[in-house]
Amino acid sequence: MKIGFIGAGNMASAIVEGIVQKGFSNPEDIYLYDISTEKVQAFAEKVGAHALNDPQEVIKTVDTLILAVKPNVIKGVLLEAKDAILQNDPLIVSIAAGTSTEAIYDVFETDQPIRIVRVMPNMNAMVGEGAAAVCGNASATKEDLATIIDLFNAVGKAWPLEEKYFSIFTAIAGSSPAYTFLFIDSIARAAVKNGLPKDIALEMATQAVLGSAETLAHSKENPWTLIDRVSSPGGTTVAGIVELEDNAFISTVIKGIDATIRKDEELGKK
């Protein structure tokens, strides 16, 4: 299978490196286009892929076309690529946030079936620990979805998800890395407040959160059971959790997720 990318920024680069390293695709079967020609040429040489100067040539060459562009430019990219896509019929994969499969199809103004798969990845794909939701339109086959899920499993984990839930996924996986970074920084700042140097405090906080995520991922128990394991009666952890809950820690996190969902739904309507 030949895979093409229109847009070769950080996310696309992470995907390419992941699928090559995991053996999902041979580098010579990957074709890249980006307006930053020097940058994409250097990256293509690094991984052994092809850098093309014309997006139309990418579309004519590949079986699967990944649109790795920002939501504010995807319509223009599709309009420019419209004729080549209709003629060559590649599987269209979009990672543009807030852009539905219906909105993508409507750009073509045609009755011709077009296989479209929408993916919501997150930035952790850049370290091979991404989380991605995958859905397809009515024309996309089960085989199409399975292929794209396998592709994104190469840079983390991917799940099939009904498109109506994508705003929720955006909040709990797409945007939540930012909340996690904020949490880690807050832990480190508390340590600095109490006299620990910031660099070592940040390193320690990061490792603690990383280890906690791994522990939960490999456990069959729920988070509260693990919390109880850390919490001794009358101990330090209990004191901290009580203070967090006195300041509405859980409900504040939920409100942040709710706000993210509302914003994503608003952007989708626009």
Angle at CA 214, nearest 5°, toward 212 and 217? 110
Residue 190 belongs to domain with CATH number: 1.10.3730.10
Let me know whether 27 and 118 are in one domain: yes
Q: Domain boundary at 115, 142, 170, which?
A: 170
Let me know whether 179 and 164 are in one domain: no
DSSP 109-170: --SS---EEEEE--GGGGGT-EEEEEEE-TTS-HHHHHHHHHHHHTTEEEEE--GGGHHHHI
pLDDT at position 205: 98
Does the annotation list 11 as a binding residue? yes
With a cut of 50, list the residues of the chain below it in pLDDT: none
The Cα 106–Cα 250 span in angstroms is 40
- pTM for the complete prediction? 0.90
Query: What are the CA-CA distances from residue 89 to residues 65, 93, 237 (Å)?
Result: 10, 12, 57
The Cα 158–Cα 1 span in angstroms is 20
pLDDT at position 135: 98
Rounded to the nearest angstrom, the gap between the alpha carbon of residue 87 and the centroid of all alpha carbons in its chain is 30
Let me know whether 21 and 120 are in one domain: yes
pLDDT at position 98: 86
Does the annotation list 68 as a binding residue? yes
pLDDT at position 161: 98
Let me know whether 19 and 86 are in one domain: yes
Does the annotation list 174 as a binding residue? no
Environment class of 91 (CB within 10 Å of its CB; exposed 0-12, middle 13-18, buried 19+): buried
pLDDT at position 19: 94
The Cα 264–Cα 270 span in angstroms is 10
Does the annotation list 6 as a binding residue? yes
Let me know whether 63 and 161 are in one domain: yes
Does the annotation list 7 as a binding residue? yes
Let me know whether 99 and 179 are in one domain: no
Does the annotation list 191 as a binding residue? no
Let me know whether 143 and 186 are in one domain: no
Let me know whether 142 and 182 are in one domain: no
Q: Domain boundary at 170, 189, 220, which?
A: 170
Q: Domain boundary at 142, 170, 198, which?
A: 170
Environment class of 78 (CB within 10 Å of its CB; exposed 0-12, middle 13-18, buried 19+): buried
Domain range enclosing 240: 175-268
pLDDT at position 97: 87
Let me know whether 47 and 98 are in one domain: yes
